[in-house]
Amino acid sequence: GQQVMQIPQYQHVQEGEDFTTYCNSSTTLSNIQWYKQRPGGHPVFLIQLVKSGEVKKQKRLTFQFGEAKKNSSLHITATQTTDVGTYFCAEATNDYKLSFGAGTTVTVRA
Amino acid sequence: EAQVTQNPRYLITVTGKKLTVTCSQNMNHEYMSWYRQDPGLGLRQIYYSMNVEVTDKGDVPEGYKVSRKEKRNFPLILESPSPNQTSLYFCASKRGGNSPLHFGNGTRLTVT
C-alpha cells in the first residue's frame, strides 16, 4: 500500500499566489521523486531528492527534502495557469518499486 | 523520439471478454511496469518486469497477467475483465536503479 501521504488532496489557488503541497511518511524515505500530470495527460518526472535537507529549484518550483527524510514539499511561487494538474510524490523503495502518493490536484483561478 | 507507446487509448468492453493492452518502449530500458490510476488512490503498481522473462507482482496484481518475451514489449492481459477493473492504466519504463519512470499516454478502460 501507499507509504507516502500527500496533503492537501485538492488545492485551489488564485493566479499569482504561492502554495505548498506536502508529502509525508511515517518511516524514513530513501529518496523522493516528484511527478506532474496535466489534465488528460500522463505523469511526467520533475525531480528527485536524495539527501537529507536537500533543496532543488526549477524556475518557480522549489522542492525540499526534510532533514529527517520523512517528508518532502513542493512550493510553487506566483502560480500560473500552466501549473494546473496533479502533483505526485513517489518513493523508490528499491530498484523495482516506486510507491506513489494519492496526489495533489491543483486548479488555478484566473 | 524516446517514448512509451500504449494501445489502445480508450477501450470499452463487457465483463468476461478477454483483452490485451499493448505497451512498447524504444529506449532499451530493462525495467517496465504497469500502473492503474483511480481517483483518490494515486498510481498503484500492478506488475513489473526487471528484464526479459522476469516479471513479478506489484500491489494490485489480481485479475491481471503480463508477459515479457521481448525487451521492448510488456503487454497487460485481462483474462476475464470485471467492472472493478474500470480504470486508467499506465505503462512505464526506466533504466536501472532509481532513475525516473517514463510513462505512456495511458489507456482508459471501461468494463460494463
Proportion of chain A above pLDDT 70, given as a percent: 98
Which distant-in-sequence residues (6+ apart) come within 8 Å of A59 by Cβ? none
How large is the average pLDDT for residues B34-60?
95
Given pLDDT bands bounded at 50, 70 and 90, which one contains residue A3? confident
Q: What is the pLDDT of residue B2?
A: 83
B40 contacts A95? CB cut-off 8 A: no
Q: Give the residue ranges of DSSP H helices in chain B.
A: none
Interface of B with A in 56-75 (CB under 8 A): 56, 58-59
C-alpha cell at A61: 518550483
How large is the average pLDDT for residues A38-48?
97
Give A50's contacts in chain B (Cβ within 8 Å). Answer: 98
Instruction: Tell which of B46, B57, B101, B105 to mutate to test the A interface (max A CBs under 10 Å).
Output: B101
Given pLDDT bands bounded at 50, 70 and 90, which one contains residue B34? very high
C-alpha cell at A66: 526534510
A88 contacts B100? CB cut-off 8 A: no
B106 contacts A42? CB cut-off 8 A: yes
Q: Which of B50, B56, B103 sits opposite A43 (nearest CB)?
A: B103
User: What integer best gives the mean pLDDT of chain B?
Assistant: 96
B40 contacts A48? CB cut-off 8 A: no
User: Number of CB pairs < 8 Å for A and B?
Assistant: 59
The per-residue DSSP string of A44-84 comes to EEEEEE-STT-EEEETTEEEEE-TTSSEEEEEESS--GGG-
* Helix, coil or strand: residue B2: coil
pLDDT digits (tens, 9 = 90+) for A82-95: 999 999 999 987 87
Cβ atoms of A82 and A110 closer than 8 Å? no
Judged against a pLDDT cut of 80, whether residue A108 lies above it is answered with yes
> Beta A10-14 vs A104-109: how paired, if at all?
parallel
Given pLDDT bands bounded at 50, 70 and 90, which one contains residue A40? very high
* Helix, coil or strand: residue B85: helix
Looking at CA atoms only, how far is residue A109 from chain B in angstroms?
22
Give A101's contacts in chain B (Cβ within 8 Å). Answer: 42
pLDDT digits (tens, 9 = 90+) for B86-107: 999 999 999 988 899 999 999 9
C-alpha cell at A15: 493566479
Provide the 8-state DSSP code for B14.
Answer: -
A96 contacts B100? CB cut-off 8 A: no
Given pLDDT bands bounded at 50, 70 and 90, which one contains residue A2? low
Q: What is the pLDDT of residue B1?
A: 85
A42 contacts B41? CB cut-off 8 A: no
Point out which residues pair with B112 in neighbouring strands: none
Given pLDDT bands bounded at 50, 70 and 90, which one contains residue B7? very high
Q: Where are the beta strands (DSSP E) in chain B?
A: 4-7, 10-13, 19-25, 31-38, 42-51, 54-57, 65-66, 76-78, 87-94, 102-103, 107-111
Cβ atoms of B88 and B108 closer than 8 Å? yes
Given pLDDT bands bounded at 50, 70 and 90, which one contains residue B20? very high
- Closest residue by Cα to residue B33 from A6, A43, A86: A43
Proportion of chain A above pLDDT 90, given as a percent: 85
Proportion of chain B above pLDDT 90, given as a percent: 95
Given pLDDT bands bounded at 50, 70 and 90, which one contains residue B51? very high
C-alpha pair distances (Å), A82 with each of A22, A85, A92, B4: 20, 8, 27, 24
